[in-house]
Structure 1
Amino acid sequence: MIKAYRANGSETVLTPDHSSPPLADDIVWIDLLHPTPEEDRFVEGLLDISVPTRDELKDIEPSSRLYVEKASVFMTASLVWRADTDDPQLTDVAFILARDRLLTVRYAEPKSFHLFVAAFGRVPEDMANGCAVLAHLLETIADRTAEILETAIGRIDTLSSEIFRDRGKRRPPKFLEGKLAEIAECHRLIGKVRDSLGSLSRVLTFLMNTHAVTSDKETAKLCKTVARDVASLSEHVGFVAANISFLLDASLGLINVEQNAIIKIFSIASVVFLPPTLVASIYGMNFQHMPELGWSFGYPMALVAMIISAVVPFFFFRWKGWL
């Protein structure tokens, strides 16, 4: 699908028709969403550029994501999408500045684009050209990334409360093992956010050195603000990642503690019942000369001996603090 946006915020759907008139002068942004080869060729003819295909976006090397060709600026960034699901992903989006227009090529639908389209055109004077549109779009992407990060932090805080709440109350190992999967999901999301922020940082650094930005003071100022926001978010992501690592280590430690406590109970139980078993074994032997077997009080005496041999180790363990 090819959508074209004017500076006033109005939207137009373009169709690959060779008899179509040339682009209107007030169109500042063309958005290619899941484009077909025919749509790629149509836009290439309109803007006189080479539109990267889906395979080219995937196979492009990190060092070749930012370049200038025929006075057009090509940039590729990795954005987080499906962040609200259990399977967040990164999608590569191409940002191309072709003269005074912005062309985006994407094969996914990050929420940041929906947010930007909804707000597009509210301040028409700020959307005079494609470079300004790109700066505001990157600002929206950074804001959406911050929102994703805040949501992840909320999930981590909830997990921390569930794991460490009521420290005197024991948590079964299965409960903690279930939390490990949730911690892994948070770790995966934070990893995607970190990769996306690194990609955005490189795009902004490259963009701020282009002529289109250096010649526009307002756009350059906005790009610097977004770059600072991205740098701040990157530092915060590192802090959150460290918290996740601590939470993971603590959960594994608690699992070991609970498992050791279970083994400890079985060990103490076996030690407590070992002396009574010894007494019962002695008097269960069938030797002819065992005086106690002929005593009238031999049976209760054996029972008392077994009880005492079990109680004494129990209180000894309590005295030592092992129970």
Structure 2
Amino acid sequence: MLNIFSIDNGRLAGLAPEAFDAPDAGQLRPIWVDLEDPSPDDKAWVLKHFGLSIPEDAVDDDLEESARFYEEDDGQLHIRSDFLRLEEEGSSRNVRVAFILHRRVLFSVRKEELPVFRLLRMRARRTPALIDDAKDVLLKLYDADAEYSADALEGIYDALNAISARVLKEQVTDEEAGEVLTAIAREEDLNGRIRRNVMDTRRALSFMMRSRMLTAEQFEDSRQILRDIDSLDSHTAFLFDKINFLMDATVGFININQNKIIKIFSVASVALLPPTLIASVYGMNFDFMPELKWTYGYPFAIGLMVVSVAAPFIYFKRKGWLR
């Protein structure tokens, strides 16, 4: 899919690809060409009208770190960045986007639609003077990405509060503990992706600031975005600590439940030792067996075994070990 945008009365406006074949195409001033899962025809169109060849590995995930931020000899600026995408079922992932700044036009290449791009298009169409040139588009995308990450962190806060209400109660069953661990692992994964996402955004902004491509106003905007990212870092660190606490608490409840089961077997084994000893003694081959010479021999032996079983249980109950 090919989307072309220009500035019309201070707002972002779309352009049709057919307009570039019209006789007055020289009057068009595009600032942003967005390619979503581009086809060979889309790449050929960009090459024909802008003289830019889109690399085949533009959005590959296995690029070397040195190939993510660089500048060509002809002035082309190449930036590869990851953008966060939240799924409806609660999962999350980072999507690679390639940016190429060529002849004052920003080209973005991605494999799928991203909420950050949709948010920027909506804002730029409604808010006048939000974007002036291609570099503003890139900065506003990073700004929207930081805001999107902040919203995702708020979602993690709400999810962890709900998890805390389930964990910090009097009794937690093993089944509930398993569900809680699954929910905690999902939030930990999202928090880690947010941390990686803001780290990648920080690197991209630092590269743009070092390349001296920004105006004084854009440079200040970049510094403000970096300050917002720094505040997100402290939140992700706090969430990591809270996640670890909830994880330890949940595992602790699981251990308590398991210890209760082990305690039952331990008490039973201790309580059955005396009657086992008595039965062993009475089972020995004596010349004169008391139970044979004495009328109440067998009842006495059985009663003695019952008493030997009851005595440990009474003692354990008084100590509170059977609770």
TM range (shorter): 0.7 to 0.9
1:199 shift after superposition? 0.5
* 2:81 aligned counterpart, secondary structure: strand
Look up the equivalent residue of 1:11 and give its one-letter code. G
Q: Distance in 2 between matches of 1:177 and 1:80?
A: 27
- TM-score w.r.t. length of structure 1: 0.86
Q: Distance in 2 between matches of 1:220 and 1:246?
A: 40
Q: Distance in 2 between matches of 1:147 and 1:304?
A: 71
1:170-228 per-position Cα deviation (integer Å, ceiling 9, x unaligned): x3334323332222222222221111111100011112234442x242x2222221111
1:1-323 residue pairs with structure 2 within 5 A? 1-7=1-7, 8-14=11-17, 19=21, 22=25, 25-54=28-57, 57-69=60-72, 70-166=74-170, 169=171, 171-213=172-214, 215-217=215-217, 219-283=218-282, 289-323=288-322
Look up the equivalent residue of 1:65 and give its one-letter code. R
Task: Assess if the C-alpha contact under 8 Å between 1:121 and 1:127 holds in 2.
Answer: no
Over aligned residues, Cα RMSD in angstroms?
A: 2.7
Indicate the larger mover: 288-297 or 194-203. Answer: 288-297
Q: Distance in 2 between matches of 1:322 and 1:140?
A: 58
Look up the equivalent residue of 2:35 and give its one-letter code. L
**Where do 5+ consecutive residues of structure 1 fail to align?**
none
Structure 1 residues 211 and 157: alpha-carbon distance in aligned structure 2, compared to 1, 3 A threshold:
same
1:18-49 per-position Cα deviation (integer Å, ceiling 9, x unaligned): 94664753432211000012212321333333
1:86 shift after superposition? 4.5
Tell me how many residue pairs correspond in the alignment: 317
Look up the equivalent residue of 1:92 and give its one-letter code. R
Indicate the larger mover: 112-121 or 138-147. Answer: 112-121
- TM-score w.r.t. length of structure 2: 0.86
Task: Assess if the C-alpha contact under 8 Å between 1:82 and 1:110 holds in 2.
Answer: no
**Where do 5+ consecutive residues of structure 2 fail to align?**
none
Task: Assess if the C-alpha contact under 8 Å between 2:106 and 2:135 holds in 1.
Answer: yes
Q: Distance in 2 between matches of 1:237 and 1:84?
A: 22
Q: Distance in 1 between matches of 2:26 and 2:272?
A: 90
Q: Distance in 2 between matches of 1:188 and 1:227?
A: 23
1:276-295 per-position Cα deviation (integer Å, ceiling 9, x unaligned): 34334544667562223443
Q: Distance in 2 between matches of 1:78 and 1:203?
A: 10
Look up the equivalent residue of 1:233 and give its one-letter code. L
Task: Assess if the C-alpha contact under 8 Å between 2:85 and 2:95 holds in 1.
Answer: yes
Q: Distance in 2 between matches of 1:96 and 1:189?
A: 28
1:142-169 per-position Cα deviation (integer Å, ceiling 9, x unaligned): 1111111221222223223212222xx2
Identity of aligned residues (%): 32
1:320 shift after superposition? 4.2
